[in-house]
């Protein structure tokens, strides 16, 4: 049993950008944020990244899944062993495939394995319950985003934009008491974000990303390609809605004949304009959009976002939050909610029929 009151929770995130594992401690009761703690990052090696990349799109039992899971578990065990004092761990795993229409989702890595290694209860498999009940299973950070809005003292609607491999937006009205209250949240994936540019840079130049957006800044975006991209049915679907990392492979194919810089500029502007399409679904206008995830370090992307969005767009650090660790903190927070029987998603965040508490808990055999 988890002790009452605020506890130290340790959360992890290995996102669709495939860069590495973020880990963060926080003191929380699963409702409010009491204190932020230690953070760590463990990059994947190029070999580890290729093992995971080779398994993208696979399901349990497929070739390559066990190898990817071993990489994920080893990397997480290594970074989590740098912490002490955690009462509970939230382990997201690595998403290999996501098919909410087929009511299935696949995150590689076993929380049971990590519970044995760490000697601490581990909450994992956060998305399956939501998907089985008809939800999108993503995004899952919005309940934590609501807690963040409360923590920074926000009193009017605002949005948090995560630009990871896939982009997602959370519209928040902090005047509500709980995240599952009607009208408190609206969340959805906006479209591809860093993943297409990362894939392009890896394929053409053997580098992991367009650092700072330097390559995109040298190019000219092909608006005709972007216009075709924005006619995809996804952009006309009402939220909440979610994507798989590979849902827009046609966008990569469309820039195949462009020069490196022009291709990077096109993919970067496509990500920004996808966010602008998403912002049209906000229930009310927002005072600001706080940007988290690796995309906020991309100067070119941030400039493009500011040019297409109708409100101030700023890094989340301007509000005193850690944009590199926000998703890891989210799964620490959600782990406590799961342990206490609190919901982790609701109709306005994933489209599930009612408020749902996802995740399963694995405890070490020592009985902690």
- pTM listed for this prediction: 0.94
Mean pLDDT of 334-355: 97
Question: Distances in Å between the alpha carbon of 75 and those of 48, 109, 225, 331, 362?
Answer: 9, 10, 38, 17, 19
Which residue do the tokens 């798989």 mark?
244
Question: Distances in Å between the alpha carbon of 180 and those of 78, 176, 289, 342, 345?
Answer: 35, 9, 21, 10, 7
Over residues 248-276, the pLDDT tens digits come to 889 999 999 999 999 999 999 999 999 99
Round to whole Å and give the CA distance between 187 and 290.
14
Over residues 346-366, the pLDDT tens digits come to 999 999 999 999 899 999 986
Mean pLDDT of 111-126: 97
Round to whole Å and give the CA distance between 146 and 76.
27
Check pLDDT > 60 for residue 368.
no
Check if 7-133+358-362 and 153-319 are the same fold. yes
Round to whole Å and give the CA distance between 119 and 149.
33
CATH superfamily of 7-133+358-362: ATPase, nucleotide binding domain (3.30.420.40)
Lookup: tokens for 221: 């975006």
The mean predicted confidence, pLDDT, of the chain is 96
Check pLDDT > 90 for residue 66.
yes
- Domain range annotation of the chain: 7-133+358-362, 153-319
CATH annotation of 153-319 = 3.30.420.40
φ, ψ dihedrals at 47, nearest 5°: -70, -45
φ, ψ dihedrals at 261, nearest 5°: -65, -40
- Confidence (pLDDT) at 245: 75
In the chain, the percentage of residues whose pLDDT exceeds 90 is: 92
Over residues 287-301, the pLDDT tens digits come to 999 999 999 999 999
Nearest residue to 334 via CA among 30, 122, 114? 30
Check pLDDT > 90 for residue 15.
no
Lookup: tokens for 121: 């209860």
Round to whole Å and give the CA distance between 51 and 48.
5
SS3 annotation, the chain? CCCCCCEEEEEEEECCCCCEEEEEEEEECCCCEEEEEEEEEEECCHHHHHHHHHHCCCCCCCCCHHHHHHHHHHHHHHHHCCCCCCCEEECCCEEEEEEHHHCEEEEECCHHHHHHHHCCCEEECCCHHHHHCCCCCCCCCHHHHHHHHHHCCCCCCEEEEEECCEEEEEEECCCCCCCCCCCCEEEEEEEECHHHHHHHHHHHHCCCCCHHHHHHHCCCCCHHHHHHHCCCHHHHCCCCCCCCCCCCHHHHHHCCCCCHHHHHHHHHHHHHHHHHHHHCCCCCCCCCEEEECHHHHCHHHHHHHHHHCCCCEEEHHHHCCCCCCHHHHHHHHHHHHHHCCCCCECHHHHCCCCCECCCEEECCCCCC
Q: Judging by DSSP bridges, how do beta strands 122-124 and 88-90 pair with one another?
A: parallel
Bridge partners of 123, per DSSP, are 90, 361
Q: How confident is the model at residue 367 (pLDDT cuts 50, 70, 90)?
A: low
- Confidence (pLDDT) at 307: 98
């Amino acid at each position: 049993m988890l002790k009452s009151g605020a506890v130290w929770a340790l959360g992890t995130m290995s996102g669709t950008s495939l860069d590495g594992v973020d880990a963060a401690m926080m003191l929380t009761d699963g409702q409010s944020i009491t204190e932020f703690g230690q953070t760590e990052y463990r990059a994947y090696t190029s070999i580890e990244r290729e093992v995971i990349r080779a398994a993208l799109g696979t399901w349990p039992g497929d070739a390559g899944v066990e190898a990817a899971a071993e990489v994920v578990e080893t990397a997480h065990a290594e970074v989590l062993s740098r912490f002490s004092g955690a009462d509970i761990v939230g382990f997201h795993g690595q998403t290999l495939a996501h098919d909410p229409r087929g009511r299935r989702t696949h995150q590689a890595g076993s929380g049971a394995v990590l519970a044995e290694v760490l000697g601490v209860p581990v909450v994992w498999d956060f998305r399956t319950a939501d998907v089985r009940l008809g939800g999108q299973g993503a995004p899952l950070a919005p309940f934590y985003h609501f807690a963040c809005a409360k923590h920074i003292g926000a009193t009017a609607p605002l949005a948090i934009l995560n630009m990871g491999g896939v982009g997602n937006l959370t519209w928040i009205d902090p005047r509500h008491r709980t995240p599952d209250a009607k009208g408190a949240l609206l969340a959805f994936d906006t479209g591809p974000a860093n993943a297409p540019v990362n894939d392009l840079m890896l394929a053409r130049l053997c580098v992991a990303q367009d650092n700072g957006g330097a390559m995109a800044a040298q190019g000219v975006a092909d608006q005709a390609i972007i216009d075709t991209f924005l006619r995809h049915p996804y952009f006309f679907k009402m939220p909440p809605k979610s994507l798989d990392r590979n849902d827009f492979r046609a966008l990569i194919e469309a820039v195949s004949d462009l020069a490196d810089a022009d291709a990077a500029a096109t993919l970067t502007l496509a990500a920004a304009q996808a966010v602008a399409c998403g912002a049209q679904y906000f229930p009310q206008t927002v005072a600001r959009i706080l940007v988290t995830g690796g995309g906020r370090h991309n100067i070119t992307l941030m400039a493009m976002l500011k040019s297409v969005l109708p409100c101030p767009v700023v890094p989340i650090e301007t509000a005193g939050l850690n944009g590199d660790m926000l998703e890891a903190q989210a799964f620490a927070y959600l782990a406590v909610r799961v342990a206490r029987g609190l919901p982790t998603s609701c109709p306005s965040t994933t489209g599930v029929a009612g408020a749902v508490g996802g995740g399963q808990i694995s405890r070490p055999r020592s009985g902690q």
